[in-house]
Amino acid sequence: MKNKIIFFSTLLLLLFSKEAFAADYKVWFNFESNSYIPPSFSGKNIPAKLAEANVFLEVLKDGRPLDLSKNKISWYLNNSLKSSAVGQNIFNFKDESSISIKNSVRAIISGVKEDGGSLTGEIDIPISAPLLILTPPAFLEAGKENSITATPFFFNVSSLNNLIFSWRVNSEEVLENSNGRPDALSLFIEESSINNQPVLVSVSAVNKTNILEKASVFIKIFKKQ
């Protein structure tokens, strides 16, 4: 009886010891996109529709990054195998989300555990619709040029030169813009036009190479009395 107690005590000790000293593995992802964002934007660059993105993979063992240069890494996009190579810890893909609002990326890292086992990690990468933000003055002042700026986000372009901006003031198209910037409107208010009615300013931006990629926004601005 005493020997049985010692045996079971030893077995439990071994089991608890194995659990206590088991390595803690974590699969960590990050991503970046080539969608257009203004240089001053410090937030995350979300991929636009049909844009490319890079996914970066890292495996942490007990909080320390592992060298994956000798491990085969298989990458799946929306459950479809796209690539499999030794040491491939960066995955480049083009949006295939169709009508969805995200792409699911999964990585299987072979032979990374101490016992030769594999690890699997997955990340959902959102897809952003293009966006325009207007920056107007607090009030429109008569007798001077009032500047209004449109800032695009998450278009599948590399620069502002790839976008066509169209401005309207009170539903009338602006054919000439005195400041020479397509993303900014210079609006002159005559002294005689000062009244209590706000001015409706709207702008749209369209991708030159994909007219289906577009965004628009409008704002009402009151005149300074």
Q: What is the pLDDT of residues 137-177, one digit of tens each?
A: 999 988 888 999 999 999 999 999 999 999 999 989 998 77
Q: Which domain CATH number covers 172?
A: 2.60.40.10
Residue 78 within a domain: yes
Q: Which of 108, 115, 62 is nearest to 89 (CA)?
A: 108
Neighbours of 214 (CB within 10 A): 17
Does residue 193 surpass a pLDDT of 90? no
Has residue 112 been placed in a domain? yes
* Residue 95 belongs to some domain of the structure: yes
CB 172 within 8 A of CB 134: no
- 49 located within any domain: yes
Quick one: 191 and 110 in the same domain? Answer: no
Q: What is the pLDDT of residue 78?
A: 92
Q: Which amino acid is at 212?
A: L
Q: Both 100 and 50 in a single domain?
A: yes
pLDDT-based confidence at residue 14 (cuts at 50, 70, 90): very low
Assess if residue 7 is contained within a domain.
no
Average pLDDT, the chain: 87
117 and 141 both lie in a single domain: no
Which among 29, 55, 56, 33 has a CA at the least distance from the CA of 121? Answer: 29
> Does one domain contain both 113 and 174?
no
Q: In this structure, is residue 6 part of a structural domain?
A: no
| Shared-domain flag, residues 32 and 121 | yes
Q: With a cut of 80, say whether residue 225 has pLDDT above it.
A: no
Mean pLDDT over 52-62 rounds to: 95
- Judge whether 221 and 139 are in contact, CB under 8 Å: yes
Q: In the structure, what pLDDT confidence band is assigned to residue 19 with cuts at 50, 70 and 90?
A: very low
Evaluate if residue 21 carries a pLDDT over 60. no
Last residue of a domain, one of 104, 126, 148: 126
How many independent structural domains does the chain possess? 2
Distance (Å, whole) CA 201 – CA 149: 11
**pLDDT higher at 129 or 21:** 129
Dump pLDDT digits (tens) for 87-139: 999 999 988 766 678 999 999 999 999 899 999 999 999 999 999 999 999 99
Summarised one tens digit per residue, pLDDT across range 197-224 is 889 999 999 999 999 999 999 999 988 8
Same domain, 116 and 142: no
Q: How confident is the model at residue 42 (pLDDT cuts 50, 70, 90)?
A: very high
Residues 30 and 86 in one domain: yes
Confidence (pTM): 0.79
Q: Is the pLDDT of residue 46 over 50?
A: yes
Instruction: Output the DSSP codes for 25-50.
Output: EEEEEEEEE-SB--TT--S--PPBTT
For the sheet containing 210-221, what is the strand order?
172-173, 163-169, 199-207, 210-221
User: Is there a domain that residue 86 lies in?
Assistant: yes
Instruction: Print the domain residue range for 56.
Output: 22-126
Q: Does 110 fall in a domain?
A: yes
CATH number of residue 31's parent domain: 2.60.40
Indicate if 91 and 138 belong to the same structural domain: no
* Same domain (yes/no): 208, 140: yes
Chosen domain end from 126, 150, 183? 126
Contact 198, 222 (CB under 8 A): yes
